Amino acid sequence: MLGSPPLLAGLVILGFFLGIAILSSNWYPGNPAFLPAHLQTTRECLLPPGPTLRLVPFEWGSHPLGVTGIAGFDVLQGLIMGSRWDLALIALIVFPAALVGGVVGTVAGGMGGWLDDVLAGLTDVFLAVPEFVLTLVALIFFLPLVPPPDRLWAFALILNLVLWAPYARGVQARARSVATRPFVEAARASGATKNRVLFRHILPNSLFPIFSQIPTTVATIFVLLGGLQYAVVEYFSANSLYPCQVLPAALSVLPSPQFPEWTWVMANGAAAWLPSASGLDPWWGYTFPAFWILLFGLGVTLLCDGLAQLSNPRN
């Protein structure tokens, strides 16, 4: 691990986000699921970043990254308070999808025969339709039945039902090759059971496609979540007389319009660009959240690249 610079860099970056998530309640006490509106009395809910940073940039009245439009959210507060929720959401999506896909791919590639054909066909069915289409259809029929406090976790469940297939396909292809290796044949000849051969010899040597797929899954999560949030905020801001009013969340996957979430903060900032009557481009509303998400994605990519190098059985 010490000889893998990408792995160490990924651990440092993700450790930074984990520390932010842990300390967010100390910097911003109060309801962690409620993002207060800082500017509710002005026509344009825009406030550019301050020229200097205070020693305590998290105190009330200090907006070092500015205030974004539509609902008057403090950008820094939204990113910090949203860290715990976004990290939890990604973990609830990535780990189950990787686990299910890894098991299905290992069983399919390691067992072979008709079971391989059936599982491969099932995987191809999910891969044939884009994730956005499947997710959107599921949200249309399933989301209205879910209470608002549980909608974010329902979104995670829906993505779990979709995003396991790429993991299964990658592991399945690798498991087919590993199943014919001499050490696997030796294990079978020594009397090892099928389960031991699958999960002791084939699965550990077929893991590196999982680490290669995780960054793509994280990107898909942000694209789907961000696209849905931007559509909601654009719809209500276009039909609202007052940009500062609290937006309803009838079509949102978030529990409330004040819920701190990275793509929600970025969507508010991006939607505030067009309604700006003063001609001011509120670049801080979407630039800082985009950089924040980009930095997190870089950490995930570096970590997974290092883990893929360690788990790749090339020797």
Catalogue all structural domains in the chain, each as residue range(s) with its CATH number: 6-311 (1.10.3720.10)
Residue pair 151/143 in contact by the 8 Å Cβ criterion: yes
* Gap between the Cα atoms of 256 and 259, Å rounded: 5
Torsion angles phi and psi, residue 33, rounded to 5: -100, 15
Residue pair 94/34 in contact by the 8 Å Cβ criterion: no
* Gap between the Cα atoms of 27 and 30, Å rounded: 10
Residue pair 69/44 in contact by the 8 Å Cβ criterion: yes
- Residue 261, Cβ neighbours under 10 Å: how many? 27
Per the listing, tokens 């979430």 go with: 261
* Gap between the Cα atoms of 250 and 236, Å rounded: 10
Residue pair 284/66 in contact by the 8 Å Cβ criterion: yes
Sign of CA dihedral 267, 254, 141, 213: positive
Predicted confidence at residue 218, as pLDDT, reads 93
Residue 99's alpha-carbon distances to 88, 94, 104, 160, 212, in angstroms, are 17, 8, 9, 10, 14
Predicted confidence at residue 268, as pLDDT, reads 80
Residue pair 86/265 in contact by the 8 Å Cβ criterion: no
pLDDT digits (tens), the chain, 315 positions: 677 888 999 999 999 999 999 998 888 887 888 887 776 555 456 676 765 445 455 555 567 787 876 667 888 888 999 999 999 999 999 999 999 988 888 888 877 777 778 888 888 888 887 777 777 777 777 877 888 788 888 888 888 888 888 898 888 888 888 888 888 888 888 887 878 888 888 888 888 888 889 999 999 899 888 888 777 766 665 555 444 444 444 457 888 778 888 998 888 887 776 544 455 677 888 889 999 999 999 999 999 998 888 776 554
Threshold 0.95, pTM exceeds: no
DSSP 8-state assignment for residue 190: T
